[in-house]
Amino acid sequence: MNITFENVTFSYPKKTENVIRDVSFTIKQGQIVVIVGLTGSGKSTLFKLINRLYDVNSGTIFVNRHPITSYMTKSLRKVMAMHYQTYTHYPLSIYENILLGDADDGSIDAENEQASRDSVMEAIEMGGAEEIIEKQPAGMDTALKPNFRARGHKTEAAGPEFKAKMDEITKTSELSAGQWQKLALARLFYRAKSKRVRLVAVDEPSASLDPKMEYSLFERLRSLSSIHGKTLIYVTHRFGYLTKRADLILVMREGQLVEQGRHNDLLKLNGEYANLYKLQAEAFMSDDDMME
């Protein structure tokens, strides 16, 4: 998927301030793109424009050289896998929480359940969530919030064996923020590995991940994207390790794209990117050493 922003300006509905101002860039098919910038600079808003949660006020977004508005929104979103800073906690099992990442996948049906369980397990591994499953007595069938519908008055009447089984499958577990984050990432991978998906976009999962976890997540996304020619966009605050490996870095400041290019070129400019990089340089060095 190619994406071009041409002089895009945007303000949220009922707001007068333009939070994206005259932004232009081109992302080529299969590129690994990292977006950086201070808090509130407009990084997440770019995502919301790419999947048409909002339309631009002026300028044009092109997807594969056609204006984004010429596609049906549903078709456009079908070929995208996006991970946002906030994500849904479904009151269902771990398995179902991940399966819902790709509700468009028509190959899932009762007869094919083992195949879908295998596919969910693969996504769990890619999302780094295996240890969550291993610790739960019911594995990926663990219910994450009370499943009230499963507890009818007939449960008692159906006999002790049935009741014991119901108790087992409706036992709920509490997960930490970090564990939910990993499940949400497994959900992303479940969708992203579909051949149909051509753009994978990840908005800042670093809040609940330590640097090493984030770098290994980035590597798994990078390898998924490069093997299958998917475009990858990754927003982060911890950008040293990631930006050194990016084909294109977009540097946002107060709604404007102030710099774009590769790591070494941007360092030479000695501008916004170089400043941000130097601010965090010590942390990058040690994180980088840790991975290499």
Ligand X SMILES: Nc1ncnc2c1ncn2[C@@H]1O[C@H](COP(=O)(O)OP(=O)(O)OP(=O)(O)O)[C@@H](O)[C@H]1O
Binding part of the chain for ligand X, among 39-47, 66-74, 151-159, 219-227 by CB under 6 A, reads 39-47
With binding defined as CB under 6 A, does residue 41 bind ligand X? yes
The string of DSSP letters for the chain reads: --EEEEEEEE--TT--S-SEEEEEEEE-TT-EEEEEESTTSSHHHHHHHHTTSS--SEEEEEETTEEGGGS-HHHHHHTEEEE-SS----SSBHHHHHHGGGTT-TT--GGGHHHHHHHHHHHHHHTT-HHHHHHSTTGGG-BSS--GGG--THHHHT-HHHHHHHHHHH-B----HHHHHHHHHHHHHHHHTSTT--EEEEE-GGGGS-HHHHHHHHHHHHHHHHHHT-EEEEE-S--HHHHHT-SEEEEEETTEEEEEE-HHHHHHHTSHHHHHHHHTHHHHHHHHHHH-
CB of 169 to ligand X, least distance (A): 38
State which of residues 2, 12, 78, 122 lies at the interface with ligand X (CB under 6 A). Answer: 12
Query: By CB under 6 A, how many residues form the interface with ligand X?
Result: 12
CB of 36 to ligand X, least distance (A): 9
With binding defined as CB under 6 A, does residue 240 bind ligand X? no
With binding defined as CB under 6 A, does residue 116 bind ligand X? no
With binding defined as CB under 6 A, does residue 205 bind ligand X? no
CB of 29 to ligand X, least distance (A): 24
With binding defined as CB under 6 A, does residue 43 bind ligand X? yes
Binding part of the chain for ligand X, among 33-41, 110-118, 216-224, 266-274 by CB under 6 A, reads 33-41
CB of 189 to ligand X, least distance (A): 22
State which of residues 23, 33, 37, 201 lies at the interface with ligand X (CB under 6 A). Answer: 37
CB of 126 to ligand X, least distance (A): 24
CB of 116 to ligand X, least distance (A): 33
The binding site for ligand X (CB under 6 A) comprises 12, 15, 19, 37, 39-45, 204
